[in-house]
Structure 1
Amino acid sequence: CARVLGAKLGPLAPQGRAIGVMLPNANAAAVTVLGVMSAGRVPAMINFTAGPTNILNACKAAEVETIVTSRAFVQKGRLDALVEALSQSLRIVYLEDVRGQVGRIDKLRGFLSWRQALHPRRPEDPAAILFTSGSEGTPKGVVLSHRNMLANAAQAQARIDFGRTDKVFNVLPVFHSFGLTVGLVLPLVSGVPVYLYPSPLHYRVVPELVYGSNSTILFGTDTFLTGYARAAHAYDF
């Protein structure tokens, strides 16, 4: 699936250049990130809560000219004004439109060649671009190589009891380093199921979903975990 999507997203930017990804924690975000990587481009993770000025500054710093998002996300997140502001300077591409370009031949090619990346990458090649919050001035881009991301995941794995019998529930946004490298990349490269949830602020909902999905690992900050503990029933965890 990621390879098929990557073949459609690749033409949006020259090889080695960045493509903005503005999506919530969901399957679409994971597939888009992996698809952009597979195509030899670099996903620049856009913090959609940062406001148009900070996002435009971040895109300028990373030389991003195109942002991939979803109409359903924009509608549900009430981000129409944000997208309208961004579209004055950037090209906005919707996954719904890209999906319409995928035919049976594309799916067959993806099925037969799913083990092969569209463009093989080296460990030192850029894997993703994250951005600082901009609280101390213009947002700065932080480039993580494939080696960096795998090293971060390995460091986290070395500190927790983590195995293939586990299930990870990730509420941390994938536009943050921990949410991307530990909440998404770590379980994927370890063969561990991961559930993505779009907001860490739903203190009553998250514990119920953790219980319902039989998840065994929940990553979070002290504030989030305290909120879940206060709202949860004893059997949720």
Structure 2
Amino acid sequence: MNLSSQLHETAKRVPHKPAYYFEDQPSTYAELDGAITKFASGLEKLGVKKGDHVGLLLGNSPFFVIGMYGALRLGATVIPINPIYTPDEIGYILNNGDVTTVIALDLLVPLAEKMHHTLPKVEHYIVCETPQGKGTSNSQLSIYSKLKSFSEVVALGQLSFRAPEVDEDDVALILYTSGTTGKPKGAMLTHKNLYSNARDVGIYLHMNEDDRVITTLPMFHVFCLTVCLNAPLLSGATLLIDPKFSPKEIFRLAKKYEATVFAGVPTMYNFLYQYPEGDPKDLQSLRLCISGGAAMPVALLKSFEEKFKVVISEGYGLSEAAPVTCFNPLDRPRKAGSIGQSIVHVENKVVNELGEEVPVGHSGELIVRGPNVMKGYYKMPEETAATIRDGWLYTGDMAMMDEDGYFYIVDRKKDLIIVGGYNVYPREVEEVLYNHREIVEAAVIGVPDPNQGEAVKAYVVSNNPALTEEAVISYAKEHLAKYKTPTLIEFLQELPKNTTGKILRRALKEQVLKS
């Protein structure tokens, strides 16, 4: 069983039930399943084959759901990409991921036109029409012969399409994560990885056909993919698709559709809590709030729960585990500040540097084993071998377990910065800064931020005394996604180093703590 075939079974069981609402327009499970089948058939008629790599450059919309599930039904491998990435970031993933077909909003057509000379492997651009875009009508474009509209591909397809056999160990998704080496790594998730985690999360959170799940986390992010998209659809629930998070819209959706589940990162909860017009009555239908992506401050958790009379369950996951490994249980006491207990079929344990389990209450590295653990990193055998050892995924996060089997993250991966739930690795930002001709040295750390949890701060040594903070930030914006771009720049005469010349980020962090 896989996600696409299970959705087909759900559509046969509850054909007339709404699968989702988007811009207040419903679509039933039968309609969604039919569109997925026709899109898969249309892809096949374009020449897309089982095993081909399909890139998704889309935000939250039916296009994403149909595009992903349609490609999976064909047996293709899907690579979701953040559409706000810069051309450099998008180009790297498309080339490294051997993408041959790109599905994107028509707003991105000018970007594709500029980039296509550097993307020799891309054979098809499937454009999703928006009111703001220009569709595929411009015959002057040099990539016009490779363009097809999303609706054209659906129209090409047939409901009689017979999906090819897909093995559970075939790669279904490649999720690119920021790498400590400065280049993203593609975590290969199989059909078994995705299906098992969606199924187990759904069971653990008691998802059912009566649930209405607010889907505002970005669909290209693994948190949303499993918790707000795959698990609800496996359970026959209804998605309330929100294209872009705003407190006003969340309160509206929750009230209008009597939403039962909301999932978000701590930053979202903070914005909801601070929203002056937020009426607790609008959220009274929620049976469950889920938080992940970053640790939620206990003070915020308690304040939110007191104001809105709901319980927030924190969990833990990572892209390499599809992603969920822990959640606070619904049928046993929730522990504030904990990431909860191991979900069904998944093992978590805390080990020392030798891989030996440490006693209860002691800290060590959190490692994970289960059917959700990735196949490996795409085209990176050495990184795979270093991360998966004896069947265990080494997360790099420091944790401890208490006597009740609840886990606590005591320290994040070394040097990792989490901005609004998104991971930022300093090395990736530093690589960009080092390419600036007037920057001699750079070091990047995370500093506390009241809205995003953390902000990116760069320490810079320049050979030009006239170089300004604004100029450095402007340069970084050209090469990095917004959440990765430094918002603070401090110029130094030299960076702190150890005796071997290694830059000491730790010293910079200590300086921030003292200030």
Q: TM-score range by the shorter chain?
A: 0.7 to 0.9
Given the superposition, is the C-alpha separation of residues 58 and 101 from structure 1 closer, same or farther in structure 2, using an over 3 Å criterion?
closer
Q: Deviations over 1:151-198 (max 9, x none)?
A: 221332243232221111111111111111221111111111112212
Is this contact kept in 2: 1:172–1:179, CA < 8 A?
A: yes
Per the alignment, residue 132 of structure 1 pairs with: 177
Structure with a larger share of its residues in helix: 1
Q: Which residue of 2 aligns with 1:204?
A: 248
1:7 equivalenced with 2:59 (yes/no): no
Q: Deviations over 1:56-99 (max 9, x none)?
A: 1112221113311132xx2xxxx465434433334432145242
Output the aligned Cα RMSD: 2.2
- SS where residue 279 of structure 2 aligns? coil
1:58 aligns with 93
- What is the aligned counterpart of 2:72 among 26, 37, 48? 37
Distance in 2, Cα, partners of 1:206 & 1:100: 33
Identity %: 26
1:150-165 equivalences under 5 Å are 150-165=195-210
Find the partner of 2:151 among 99, 104, 118. Answer: 99
Deviates more, 1:154-163 or 1:14-23: 154-163
Greater fraction strand: 2
TM-score w.r.t. the length of structure 1 is 0.84
What is the SS of the residue equivalent to 1:58?
helix
1:88 equivalent among 117, 134, 145: 117
Unaligned runs of 5+ in 2: 1-34, 130-148, 284-515
Alpha-carbon spacing, 1:210–1:12, altered in 2? closer, same or farther (3 Å): farther
SS at match of 1:15: coil
Is contact 1:52–1:85 with CA below 8 Å preserved after alignment?
Answer: no
Q: Normalization by structure 2: what TM-score?
A: 0.41
Partner SS, residue 219 of structure 2: coil
Instruction: Select the residue among 221, 226, 233 that pairs with 2:279.
Output: 233
Give the conservation status (yes or no) of the 8 Å contact 1:21–1:69. yes
1:34-67 deviations in Å (ceiling 9; x for gaps): 1111112111101112211111111222111331
Aligned residues: 223
- When Rg is computed on C-alpha atoms for both structures, the one with the higher figure is 2
Letter in 1 for 2:210: T
**Structure with the larger RCO, 1 or 2 (CA within 8 Å, 6+ apart):** 1
Unpaired segments ≥5 residues, structure 1: none
> Which residue identity lines up with residue 149 of structure 1 in the other structure?
L
Q: 1:87 to 1:25 in 2, by over 3 A?
A: same
Residue 236 of structure 2 corresponds to 191
**Alignment CA distance shift 1:160-1:102 (3 Å):** closer
Partner in structure 1 of residue 224 of structure 2 = 179
Change (3 A) 1:229 1:236: farther
> Residues 223, 117 of structure 1: CA spacing in aligned structure 2 closer, same or farther, 3 A cutoff?
farther
